[in-house]
Each structure stands twice: as C-alpha cells, then as structure tokens.
Amino acid sequence: MQLYKSRDFSAFFQDTFTFLRQNGKHYFKHYFLVNGFFLLILMIIGYFFTKFYADFLFGGVLQGGGSNVFDDYMNENFDVFMVLLVLFLSVGLIAGLISYSYTAIYFKLYNEHGGENFTTKNIIDCYKQYLGKLFIYLICGILIGIPIIIGFGMSIFVLMITIIGLLLIPVLTGALMLYYNMTLMEYLEDRKNIWDCFGYAWTLLTKKFWPAVGSVGIFYLMAYVVQNIITLVPYFAGLASLFTSVNEEGVTDPQAMGATMVIVMLVVFFITFFIGTILNNIVQVNQGIVFYSLKEENENINTKSTIDQIGSGE
C-alpha cells in the first residue's frame, strides 16, 4: 500500500483498515517479537501490583479493618511496594518508549523497503541506530509536554462541564497524541533536529486539522469503548460468582468474596493489558497513515517521485 498519498477523512479510515488487513499479521508478529520480553515483565509487575491492591482492599478495608488498616498494611508491605514501584517505573519507561516508537520504526522500514520485506533483525537494528534519538525525543517530549499537559488538563476540565464538551474530549486527546507521534516519525527521518520536528508536526497538524484529528479521535473513542465492553464481561462473571459465597444463613462470606474479587481483578488486568496493547497499536497505525498523508500534501513526495520516474523513462 502506498503511504505517501493524499487522503480525505473517509480515506484515513479505509486505508488504516486496508493496511491492517494486508500487513497486520506481519506488523503484530514483529511487534510481539520485539516487545514481548518487556511486555512480559510489565505484566508480571502489574500482576503483583494488582494483587497487592486487591489483598489490601478485600483483605482489610471491605472487611471492616478500621481506619488504620491502610497505615498498618503499608507499614507491613512498604519495602515490597517501593521495590515494585521503582521496578515498574524503570521498566515501564523503557518498555513504553520501545513500544511507542515501534509503529514509527515499522512505517519507516515499510516505506524504505516498499512493503513488508524486512525482518525482526532490521527492526532491532533500526532501534539500535536511533536509540540516542529516542531518548532525546523522550526528554524533550517531557519538557515540552509540561505546559501542553497543563493546558490540556484545563481544556478537559472545561469540556467536561457540557455534554457537547464530553464528545470533544476524544478529539482533543487525538490531537495531542497525533502531534507527538508525527514529531517522532519526522524525527526518525534524519532531516531535522528535535525542535524543528515539533514545529513541523504542528504545521502538519494544522494543515488538515479536523479530518486528521477527527479520524484519530474516533479511533481512540472506538478503542476505549471496545476495551471497556470486553473487560465488563469478567466483571459480570465475578459478580455472578459472588452468589456462591453466600452461606446457608444467607450471609456473605467475606473471605470467599475477597478471594473471588481478587481473581476477577487479576483476570480483568490481564485482559485489559492485552486488549489495550492491540487497540493502542491500531490507533497508532491510523496516526501513521495520517502522518504520511499530510506529509505528502505538504511536500508532494510521491508526486515528485512519479514525475522523476517519467522523466528518466524518456
């Protein structure tokens, strides 16, 4: 599929699903090969965090442990909690950067190879080549993100006041995520410094704002709805199983209820983690399609290439 191509609102959707249909197997296969180790570590740490929280919630608070239950629980488990927190933040930062940049690197290689004619080794080599740039992007993204997040938070607060405003929240979220993703994609082109890439991404963002941002926003909304619908299933199953924890006198057994809800929370965590990973990648694929489309409209890369090919043929 041609990446550099002018697209309208409907084409952003159509070409995203076309790309996934044609290259989804190759894309996700290499995604899990590259990110599988880090995702596994995150899932293990997340498991302990979820179990830690569930044990505290259902082992003390909901069973009438008193007002000091939190202090007692933290005093007994503070060391474990801090170790998990540091591990989660450290691994999460590295894993998040690798996972987030995968789509940008994949699209770059896809464009350079004219399709999916590249391997996991090519992707890893690309990571090694741009490792320094990825950390520069991370640091600069945090710096420039401080005022952006403040403004974003204020805008979200204002939008939450009205129903119409609530509907615009996915659009605002889509604009922010698209801006950062396009910056990274442009930065990996090796033609501009990081600050010029932030400026260029803003130029692209404003070039076709509503079709581009609307497309990404709707994808975020669809992903949010799908993920929540899927995760509600084990919740309802867990609630239904609570009926089995009622004894003959019709009184709920706190221990049985706590054990059931711990299992439910763990199941929901793993389902949410996996489904969220898949959906987040689909949203990023849509952002990649939008980026190459806006870049084509701004620079006419494919058009110039076609003209050059015609000239060389003569």
Distance CA 15, CA 1 (A): 8
The residue extents of the domains of the chain are: 9-300
pLDDT band at 232 (very low <50, low <70, confident <90, very high): confident
Overall average pLDDT of the 170-175 stretch: 82
pLDDT band at 22 (very low <50, low <70, confident <90, very high): very high
pLDDT in tens, 79-131: 777 777 787 788 778 888 999 999 999 999 999 998 989 999 999 999 999 99
Q: Tokens at residue 286, please?
A: 């849509």
Q: Is the model's pLDDT at 290 over the cut of 50?
A: yes
pLDDT band at 185 (very low <50, low <70, confident <90, very high): very high
Helix, strand or coil, per DSSP, at residue 103: helix
Q: What is the total residue count of the chain?
A: 314
3-state secondary structure 283-306: HHHHHHHHHHHHHHHHHCHHHHHH
This prediction's pTM: 0.83
pLDDT band at 160 (very low <50, low <70, confident <90, very high): confident
Q: Which residue has the higher pLDDT, 304 or 13?
A: 13
In terms of phi and psi (left: phi > 0; alpha: psi -120 to 50; beta: otherwise), the region of 190 is left
Q: 84-123 as b/e, with b when 16 or more CB fall inside 10 Å?
A: beebbeeebebbebbbbbbbbbbbbbbbeeeebebeeebb
